[in-house]
Structure 1
Amino acid sequence: MSTRPPQLSPTELAAYFAFTEVSSLLRHAVEKQLREAGKLSYVQFQLLARLRDAPGGSQRMTDLADDLVYSRSGLTYQAQLLEQRRLLTRAPSPEDERSTIAAITDEGREVLAKVFPGHIEVVSSLLFESLAEQDVEVLARVMTQVSGHLRANPPRSATRKRSSDSARRVSTREP
């Protein structure tokens, strides 16, 4: 008896290919804008934006890595580059000396303020301009549902350490 390998329906396959194409094209445009406007990588931008929106402008490095689904060592390297530019600082946590706290600096806030207008313009024109408001609502609902499903069994870099950490999630909205 032969078993058929799992297959995607034509609609699922089309949705998957469209999603990956949109994701690649949008990411390329966003990364180009961030490099030109602020000399930031996409991960560096996300890191600074999360810190900007975090209570007190600071957060544990481990929590940042989990939120961004980025390796802890990779995020440490990106934070080091930002620290050299004086866009953030890092220090041992006063509550747990094994943890490191990253905090955005005034210079980091200035760089974000400089890149956000162009960032919003790129995202708006490339992702949302062709969609009706109802389409944006559906997209937000569907992507939130898929994100929740993926985070239910995340890779190590996205695994939450404590249940209270989920309350710390912040957005990268406009300042």
Structure 2
Amino acid sequence: MTEPRWLDADEMAAWNAFVEAGNLVNRRIEQQLREQAGLSHPQYEILVRLSAAPEGEIRMSELAQLVVTSKSGLTYQVTQLEKAGLVGRRTCETDDRGVIARLTEAGRHKLEEAAPGHVELVREHLIDVLDRDQLRALTDALGVVSRKLRGS
């Protein structure tokens, strides 16, 4: 059995900074969305992805990949959004096993109401804290991690 490659001081500092900043930003986002829009962060992201999709529709399996969640986790969130009238579902016309999620008009209005406060918080706690070089470095570095984890 090979010895683990323990993190050195710089690597541990990077890891701790990533975990701490990510958790703090996520907590603030979750709190703000719940208080101001009555949405969880995953629900907000589902509405965002649907609003950006052609005709406001995406196959559920693709939506799960976009919001980085399990199919069962996505089904739960979409069910909650459906109960609130913000999302609808229908069977895929070309594949009876496929299900398509679609943004309703009420969902579009909810997103339009929630987005300004969300963007303000993201700016305050992440975007405006970093300069352009730091933003580019963050985008590049986390893009490498995402591509590796997605296998591309």
Question: Aligned residue for 2:57?
Answer: 58
Q: What SS does the aligned partner of 1:86 have? A: coil
Equivalent-residue separation in structure 2 for 1:131 and 1:51 (angstroms):
29
- The yes-or-no answer on 1:115 pairing with 2:96 is no
Residue 5 of structure 1 and its aligned partner are, at CA, apart by 2.4
Deviations 1:75-128 (A, max 9, x none): 111111111111010010011110100000111011111111111111111112
Confirm or deny that 1:82 pairs with 2:81: yes
Higher helix proportion (structure 1 or 2): 2
Which letter maps to 1:125?
E
* Aligned residue number for residue 150 of structure 1: 149
> What RMSD, in angstroms, separates the aligned Cα atoms of the two structures?
1.4
Q: Which has the higher contact order (CA 8 A, sep 6+)?
A: 1
Q: How does 1:132-147 map to 2 (within 5 A)?
A: 132-147=131-146
Distance 1:70 1:116 in 2: 21
Sequence identity of aligned pairs in percent? 39
4+ runs of 1 displaced by more than 3 Å? none
Are residues 64 and 3 of structure 1, via their aligned partners in 2, closer, same or farther at CA, if it must alter by over 3 Å? closer
Alignment-mate amino acid for residue 106 of structure 2: E
TM-score, L = length of structure 1: 0.83
5+ residue gaps, structure 1, are 154-175
Q: Within 1, Cα distance between the matches of 2:66 and 2:122? A: 21
User: Which consecutive unaligned segments of at least 5 residues does structure 2 have?
Assistant: none
- TM-score normalised over the length of structure 2: 0.95
Equivalents in 2 of 1:52, 1:112: separation in Å? 8
